[in-house]
Structure 1
Amino acid sequence: MERRILWAPWRGEYVGGKRERGCIFCPPEKPLPPEERPILYMDKLVMVMLNKFPYNTGHLLISPVRHIAELEDLTEDESLHLIKVTQRAIMILKELLKPHGFNVGFNLGKVAGAGYPDHLHLQVVPRWEGDVNFLSILDDVRLASQHYLRVYEMLKPHFEALKI
């Protein structure tokens, strides 16, 4: 069997263990460029950030602004607002990227896969039929990805227009 190599050089920073100082989900003290912190939307309760090391194009991280680790520690206002923002984010992704489906969920705790277990965050991963899955690797490789900064530039105006 011929060996095929899938290259994803932008993930080298993540795999190599280079991490930002502090919590990536806490609002920065001063605005940062999207290369450092690709924040698409933020209000007093919720922040939406494009994942710099995505599982798929358009992978979003949605978190409460308040630094909390546990889902049950969300206030009612934070819970409702988090879901409303997630709904709008999915609508934007559907319109612009036209995915066939989504994986949406929380990884609660390190053993559950949370890369940042100290700050609760919801992951929204757009999915396309035949995208990066096990069968695609064994058969024909169908990997269509864009650099996260290109995706950021496409999504940013739509998130700036959000009124929630």
Structure 2
Amino acid sequence: MTGTTTPPGDPGLPAAGAAEVPLDEQAGVGMRDAFQRLYTPHRMAYIKGENRTDDSACPFCEIPGLSDADGLVVARGAEVYAVLNLYPYNSGHLMVVPYRHVADYADLTPDEAVEMAFFMQKALRALRLASGAHGFNTGMNLGTIAGAGIAAHVHQHVVPRWGGDTNFMPVVGGTRVLPELLPETRTLVAEAWEKVASQA
């Protein structure tokens, strides 16, 4: 059996042009197992904070200027819009966001607060229809200290949940496995949103 060498401190990715080395000659290498490895290098940009923005470049202010497909927008209202989370906890994880750049929920106008609540109801119905979700986590992280990734622009999360959706991958491996790409999820949820909106 052969393997590849990796530089010290490397998380297991082979070095460019690495020579094949018999596994039994690699120091510290155990027995080969049957696990497949899922590499998600795009997550490292988030972990390192490379995608963090300052107030002058707020992604929630830029998204409404994009097409629905490019911005991952599910639905648009007069005061708020629903958009898929670029770094979802589960498939269908979306956010309800006011168009106006405002940091605190307490500072929303009455119209913004009412439409945000109305969009939350629509989001739950659309996600149930699109995915058969068994339950949801919803909420806001207000302020950086509370865990908000974009603290300068308030947004409410809607995370669909299913029985057994937390397994060893996120708990032990710190990895989320998502069964479909974001553009596909956006299309499914947007279509379900239109159906539930027409039933209201």
Q: Over aligned residues, Cα RMSD in angstroms?
A: 3.1
Higher helix share: 2
The range that moved more, 153-162 or 129-138, is 129-138
Q: What TM-score does the superposition give when structure 1 sets the normalisation length?
A: 0.81
Q: Is residue 26 of structure 1 aligned with residue 58 of structure 2?
A: no
Task: Specify the alignment match of 1:72 in structure 2.
Answer: 106
Equivalent residues of 2:52, 2:150 under 8 A apart = no
Separation of aligned partners in 2, 1:19 and 1:104: 22
- Matched residues, number: 162
Separation of aligned partners in 2, 1:33 and 1:68: 22
Three-state SS of the structure 2 residue aligned to 1:48 is strand
Task: Call closer, same or farther: CA 1:28–1:131 in 2, change over 3 Å.
Answer: closer
| Percentage identity across paired residues of the two chains | 33
Task: Specify the alignment match of 2:25 in structure 1.
Answer: none
Separation of aligned partners in 2, 1:144 and 1:53: 11
Task: Call closer, same or farther: CA 1:28–1:125 in 2, change over 3 Å.
Answer: closer
Q: Is residue 15 of structure 1 aligned with residue 47 of structure 2?
A: yes
Task: Specify the alignment match of 1:150 in structure 2.
Answer: 184
- 1:9: how far off? 4.5
Structure 1, gaps ≥5 residues long: none
The range that moved more, 90-99 or 145-154, is 145-154
Structure 2, gaps ≥5 residues long: 1-29
